[in-house]
Structure 1
Amino acid sequence: MSKKNLLKIFSLMLVMFILVAAFAGCTQKGSSNEDSKTQTTTGSSDSQSEETSDSTSEALVSDKKITLKIMAQRDAMGGPWENLRIFKDLEEMTNIHFEFDVVYEGYDEKKNLALATGDLPDIFLGGLSVDDEETYGPQGLLIDLTDLIEKYGTNIKATFEKYPTLKRSVTSSDGKIYALGQILKTPTMGSYKPVINATWLKNLNLSVPETTEELYNVLKAFKTQDPNQNGQADEIPLGEYQFDNLNGMLLPAFGSMAQDIWVKDGKVTFTPMTDAYKHYLEYLNRLYKEELIDPMFISQSIDEFLAKTKLNVYGVLGAVRQSDWTQFQMLSPLTSQYNSEKFSSSTDRLYSTGRFAITKANKYPVESIKWADLFFTELDDGIDGITGAALWIGRRGVDWDFTEDKSAVKYLFTPEEGQTEIQYLLQKVTPSQTGFVGQLILEVPFESPYLRWVGENNTKYVFPYLRNDWIYPSGARFTKEEHEKLSILKTDIGNYVQQERAKFVTGDNSFDKWGEYIQTLKNMKIDEYIQIYQDAYDRFMKNN
């Protein structure tokens, strides 16, 4: 072999050695970067994104730039999603570029057309109903996420373990998961926040009532002793709009949750046919006859009611109103001669489903589930500020953070003139007022005086008495046959209950006719109605 040929072979071997060494060094460096991110990622994708690329190897989701189409409903105050900074930041971090098909009005029509024709986006972000999941999941238009979650949903699995009701809520009747959901938990939440005018109590040297009889006596004093000290008999002791908030304030005192359907010890109850409900209506009738409740509470419009709240003529309200909150404090749950246990029908959390679905058109399901997994990250564990709050209030450390003493959430930006913080976020930063998907858990309120007041009062007077396990789960699913029956029964029964409760309160119906009322409900198939809810609840609780 000639010396020239030997030189060529040696040169070739040297080049190969250098290339191998360089590749090994890059691989080692890449592994180190991925290991530093195992808290919220699972490394490189094993789907189409495994193709080589010149893009950064440090992306949270994909090693190469990919494009996905999203269909969603825009907030009424929101700006164009392609201009929102959170999506720009996420694209830089994850290597996923989104094309948005987003509308405010007409979203349901657009979604239904896409599902009917098969002209699908890659991802539905919010806006899917349980019926959509139950119909289009088994048909294959929405893919089953179960295996993807198991392999790549590190944070999703952790959230499911911590909040098993969320997993039950997103599990379809066939045992599969076609859409992710959200758990939303904040100290300012709750459907029922009854309040009493603390200034009036102080003026009359009265204590906060703890029983329905004590409340009755306070209301009488509010009516007759000029608690606002203006020399006029213009006070209205108790005010509300319709029954809902009154239910929340008073029904637990008589032994029932405020919701029409609730569950205790695994048994579903229909509130409007219980003894507790009868005692509650008797109490309202007593207040109505003695003019201790606004006589217009059933018939007035919401605008008429809110106008009265601004005049500060009410002593007790079923729910706090922001315009007059400074004079009020929240009421703890009351008790009565019929019930000695304090409990509240309110809640500190909400579960939802239909928040994120991957369609059969999506060529990058692994990357898609990894992207969604970022929003199941707890607030202290995010990377570059991306947590479960990111689609709501932006990135921690960029758009928001906790105050120095950790007692509240503060914004790190100043809205433009004439804007609120929420308006600024929706127009410049994020797409939603509550986030779309994931784990959104705030243990402290925002730092505004009103929200601090709500959070502190909730925590002190309401949350210690919550019975979240008594609230009928919103994620319970009905079969097609059950749904059809409910749609008929619910309308007729609901209308009858609303009509009769007003008559009992105003005295148009005598309580001597209570038995006839119960029998009419039975004739309207109330037992079948309750059993449908019971069956759906039993199936829901079996979902693991």
Structure 2
Amino acid sequence: MEGVMNKKIGLLLLVGGLLQRGVLANEHKISEKPLELSILAIQNGKTYDENWTVFQEAFKDTNVKLKSYSSKNLTDEIQAFNLAVSSGNLPDIISLAYPEKLESLGMDGGIVPLNDLINKHAPNIKAFFEKYPRYKMDAVAADGNIYFIPDYYDWYNMRAAQGVFIRKDWLDKLGLKTPKTMDELYEVMVAFKTKDPNGNGKADEIPYFERSVEFADKELVGMFGAEIGFYVDENGKVKFGPTTERFKEAMPQVIKWYKEGLIDPEIFTRGFQARDYMLRNDLGGVTFDWFASTASYNEDKELKDKVKDFEFVAIAPPEYKGKSYAPDARTTYLGGWGISATCKDPVAAIKYFDYWFSEKGYELSNWGIENDTFVKEENGKKKFTDTVMKADGKTPLQVLRDKGIQFRIGALQDYEYEKAWGNPKASEWAEMYMQNGYIVDPMPTLKYTKEENRKIQKINSQLNMAVKEMNQKWILGAVDFNKTYDEFLNRLNEIGLKEAIDINQKSYDRFINSSN
């Protein structure tokens, strides 16, 4: 009898264990029957692909499958978005890099407000917003509704994006120390220009170069602590950088650098290949660029074979008036996704959004599938497998993206994923920038009412054009800064600068209060 009872207890325990595993296996299931939702999503020219292993795994967990709304031949996301809106035939889900377009469509009734759906059906997102009020602020539109879930960077752990790089081999060759101040940086660049550190007998060195035409002037004046656009001061007041005293200090310094040949004469025209050209031809000395991709040149065998002792290292931004400034930083998010008003099952869609904020979804979106793209070590730390790290003809990031990892969805990035595939020195330098407070955080992405948006778009386009035009003229020496600065300010005021500041101040104040 006792043996029979023990067998029954054992059977009950076995069945209980199976039931528990069954519950766990189904904890993410959203629909009893397979459910298909259409999605418009294009990132970096790649259209969403339902064959990506990340999303196939998500389908196994949730029973929700995403099907691409647009043709794989259509690689421009704005064009695809505009076509969908104009056709009146929206997909169930829309992913976009431009949240203002999703919010505008939401205010017109084309995107579903998510507030109630989150409260009732998305416990992971709700808890996430409660834990990180700043992330919630980024999701709230000017009318108080949430129309999209952002694609969040791991902003609290890593805001550093770019830094000052300098040729250490040139410093060593000339017997120079790492510059600690902007005055010392100037002296180093003069030496780079005049003392032939590349040793070819020609004065062909270009001390400072940039590959981002869009940010060249921003970063040059930015290292002096100046801004070229709107920003918020320490008192929460919106200011416009080119109208400030710091800008008036910074621009003459940059003009001097250019006039003396310390800045690439083609800085505004050379374009995206400038970094590659300058380094592979042993011409460039200093730049401000992305940590990971710039650090990788130190491991480039072809370059190292050609340029003996090549070493390009990140340094602390040289101080100006006692402070270091890194003028480019990561924002809190880039784009996101929302649910269209024509979605066949918005409850299922928000539950699917919520899945990506679960422990499994978070891991899947950042690391992929365990024992395929990553493994866990004994201490629980993850690392990517050789499938990712040693793929023929592909970088680790390309491999990850080919599997759908880090594709733009509403989710949170894990900075550890980037450290796992990136250059260790790049991570070290980025963390040095974070820990020492060099980062100049950009103004948050502001949200406008439809009327505000109509006005600000018109004013901003003209302001940006005026600033870019005059910055280039001043730096290139086409016009005299001191003689034309007041005229420039008058032009900004005629465009509507005061109204733009007022609109941005109202929007910023709303943003600050939007987590309530």
Scaled by the length of structure 2, what TM-score is found?
0.82
Q: Does the 8 A contact of 1:166 with 1:352 survive in 2?
A: no
Alignment of 1:103-118 (within 5 A): 103-104=71-72, 105=74, 107-108=77-78, 110-112=80-82, 114-115=84-85, 118=88
Are the aligned partners of 2:314 and 2:429 in contact in 1 as well (CA < 8 Å)?
Answer: yes
Could you tell me how far apart the structure 2 residues matched to 1:202 and 1:404 are?
42
* Correspondence for 1:18: none
Higher mean C-alpha deviation, range 527-536 or range 114-123: 114-123
Q: Secondary structure at the match of 1:182?
A: strand
String of CA shifts for 1:403-422, please: whole Å, max 9, x gaps. Answer: 77888842352576444444
**Equivalent runs, 1:502-513 vs 2, <5 Å:** 502-513=472-483
Q: What is the 5 A alignment of 1:119-518?
A: 119-126=89-96, 129-137=99-107, 139=109, 141-185=110-154, 190-241=160-211, 244-247=214-217, 249-256=219-226, 258=227, 260-264=229-233, 265-303=235-273, 306-319=276-289, 321=294, 324-325=297-298, 327-336=311-320, 339-357=321-339, 359-363=341-345, 365-377=346-358, 382=359, 386-391=360-365, 393-401=367-375, 409-411=383-385, 413=387, 417-427=392-402, 429-430=403-404, 433-443=406-416, 445-447=418-420, 451-461=423-433, 464-467=436-439, 470-474=441-445, 476-513=446-483, 514-518=485-489
CA shift in 2, pair 1:164/1:27, >3 Å: farther
Q: Is the 8 A contact 2:102 2:147 kept in 1?
A: no
Does structure 2 conserve the Cα–Cα contact (< 8 Å) formed by 1:486 and 1:529? yes
The reply to whether residue 85 of structure 1 matches residue 58 of structure 2 is no
Instruction: State the identity as a percent.
Output: 25
- Secondary structure class of the residue paired with 2:239: strand
Aligned residues: CA RMSD: 3.5
Aligned match of 1:7: none
- Following superposition, the deviation at residue 266 of structure 1 comes to 1.0
Deviation readout 1:452-509 (Å, 9 max, x if unpaired): 22211111245532556x42112x2112222222232222222222222222223332
- 1:271 and 1:277 in contact (8 A); partners too: yes
SS of alignment partner, residue 413 of structure 2: strand
Q: Are residue 542 (structure 1) and residue 510 (structure 2) matched?
A: no
Give per-residue Cα distances to partners, 1:188-212, cap 9 Å, x unaligned: 8745322111111122222211211
What do the CA deviations read for 1:348-387 (whole angstroms, capped 9, x no partner)?
A: 4531444242544323x3333222222224xxxx3xxx33
- The alignment partner of 2:147 has SS state of coil
* Contact 2:30/2:62, CA 8 A, preserved across alignment: yes
For 1:84 and 1:143, how far apart are their aligned partners in 2?
A: 27
- For the 8 Å contact 1:241–1:305, the answer to whether it is kept is yes
Query: Is the 8 Å Cα contact of residues 285 and 505 (structure 1) preserved in structure 2?
Result: yes
Quickly say closer, same or farther: Cα 1:209–1:403, change in 2 above 3 A: farther
- Describe the SS at the equivalent of 2:423: helix
CA contact (8 A) 2:150 2:333 kept: yes
Secondary structure of 1:316's partner?
A: strand
Residue range with higher mean Cα deviation, 409-418 or 486-495: 409-418
Seen in structure 2, the aligned counterparts of structure 1 residues 451 and 348 have a Cα distance that, compared at 3 Å, is farther
1:472 maps to a residue whose letter is M
Paired with 1:419 and 1:342, the residues of 2 have a C-alpha distance of 37
Q: What are the ranges of 5 or more consecutive residues in structure 1 without an aligned counterpart?
A: 1-23, 38-56
Preserved contact between residue 151 and residue 409 of structure 2 (Cα < 8 Å): yes
For the residue of structure 2 that corresponds to 1:228, the secondary structure is coil
| Aligned match of 1:13 | none
SS at match of 1:439: coil
* Alpha-carbon contact 2:296-2:423 (below 8 Å) kept: no
- 2-side partners of 1:252 and 1:451: how far apart? 26
Between Structure 1 and Structure 2, how many residues are aligned?
484
Deviations 1:172-193 (A, max 9, x none): 2221222211211288874532
After superposition, give the CA deviation of every residue in 1:11-37 in whole Å (9 maximum; x if it has no partner).
xxxxxxxxxxxxx99998899568x75
The alpha carbon displacement at 1:213 in A equals 0.6
Structure 1 residue 242, shift from structure 2 partner: 6.3
Q: Which amino acid aligns with 1:455?
A: S
Shift of 1:260: 1.2
Tell me the secondary structure at the aligned position of residue 193 of structure 1. strand
Q: In 2, are the aligned partners of 1:393 and 1:400 still within 8 Å (CA)?
A: yes
